[in-house]
């Protein structure tokens, strides 16, 4: 919250689950090239070409090799989902729920004072180690804003796991996600999501296969129609 008008406030805040304790840095007040999970509540559109509505919530999983790009609002390294959330200057409390269970990450919001959760992010294939640190940070950049976290509540979920999970040392696995889209394929979409850009090899193959099947079907139908016409013409002789 703050007195800044449209696009004259920023930058936002972040929730962290990382290998190291919080170290001041350029990514919403914390360091870049982190190991772990970050949930970003971005209040300022750095990319003037974007059609997203801010504030915007996104997630990022990093094994230390990825760099957060502020100029593109982190689009090149975010997970495949996100949402807009009108959380600034509200006269009521706003809530964010982050849940991680059996490789599935979900983020939900309650910012409309309706006492009900709204889905924001829901993605499977996320692998996170145990034993990391929880934290929160915020950054203002060249602008200013107030970032208040009234409380954080943490719960351990009691769920059944596959037997093979017992053989894994979850303290030593690398943070990763199997559905992270290549930065080169990220094309901004008015809905706030991504659609595929350049066609990859397997997409071209599928398109060619569909086209070939379509040609075969058309040829068969054409042959049947031609044969029936020939039979009908013979009746007039």
Write out the two tokens for 180: 């992270």
Give the H or E element holding residue 83: strand 82-84
Judged against a pLDDT cut of 90, whether residue 69 lies above it is answered with: yes
Q: How far apart are CA 84 and CA 30, in angstroms?
A: 22
Q: How far apart are CA 201 and CA 198, in angstroms?
A: 10
Write out the two tokens for 134: 């929880």
> Quick one: average pLDDT of 134-140?
96
Cβ count within 10 A of residue 103: 14
Write out the two tokens for 119: 């889905």
Cβ count within 10 A of residue 146: 13
Share of the chain above pLDDT 90, in %: 61
> Quick one: average pLDDT of 132-137?
97
User: What is the reported pTM?
Assistant: 0.74
> Quick one: average pLDDT of 202-210?
73
> Quick one: average pLDDT of 203-224?
81
> Quick one: average pLDDT of 91-102?
96
Q: How far apart are CA 24 and CA 143, in angstroms?
A: 18
Look over the chain and give the mean of its residue pLDDT values, rounded to a whole number: 85
DSSP string covering 171-205, please?
Answer: TSPPPEETTPPPGGG-EE-TTSSEE--SPPHHHHH
What was the pLDDT predicted at 179?
Answer: 62
Q: Are residues 194 and 188 in contact, defined by beta-carbon separation less than 8 angstroms?
A: yes
> Quick one: average pLDDT of 166-178?
90
Q: Are residues 77 and 67 in contact, defined by beta-carbon separation less than 8 angstroms?
A: yes
What was the pLDDT predicted at 132?
Answer: 97
Q: Are residues 182 and 197 in contact, defined by beta-carbon separation less than 8 angstroms?
A: no
More confident residue, 213 or 55: 55
What was the pLDDT predicted at 148?
Answer: 95
More confident residue, 159 or 26: 26
Please state, in angstroms and as integers, the Cα–Cα distance from residue 46 to each residue in 111, 113, 142, following that order. Answer: 23, 29, 11
């Amino acid at each position: 919250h703050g007195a800044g008008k449209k696009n004259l406030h920023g930058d936002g805040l972040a929730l962290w689950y990382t290998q190291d304790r919080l170290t001041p840095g350029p990514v919403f007040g914390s360091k870049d090239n982190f190991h772990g999970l970050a949930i970003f509540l971005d209040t300022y559109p750095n990319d003037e070409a974007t059609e997203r509505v801010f504030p915007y919530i996104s997630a990022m999983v990093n094994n230390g090799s990825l760099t957060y790009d502020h100029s593109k609002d982190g689009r090149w390294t975010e997970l495949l989902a996100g949402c807009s959330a009108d959380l600034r200057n509200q006269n009521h409390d706003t809530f964010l729920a982050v849940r991680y269970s059996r490789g599935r990450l979900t983020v939900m919001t309650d910012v409309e004072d309706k006492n009900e959760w709204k889905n924001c992010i829901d993605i499977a294939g996320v692998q996170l180690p145990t034993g990391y640190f929880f934290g929160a940070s915020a950054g203002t950049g060249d602008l200013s804003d107030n970032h208040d976290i009234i409380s954080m509540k943490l719960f351990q979920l009691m769920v059944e796991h596959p037997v093979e999970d017992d053989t894994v040392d979850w303290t030593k696995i690398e943070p990763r996600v199997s559905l992270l889209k290549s930065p080169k394929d990220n094309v901004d979409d008015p809905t706030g999501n991504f659609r595929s850009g350049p066609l990859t090899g397997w997409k071209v193959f599928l398109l060619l296969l569909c086209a070939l099947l379509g040609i075969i079907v058309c040829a068969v139908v054409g042959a049947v129609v031609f044969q029936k016409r020939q039979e009908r013409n013979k009746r007039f002789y």
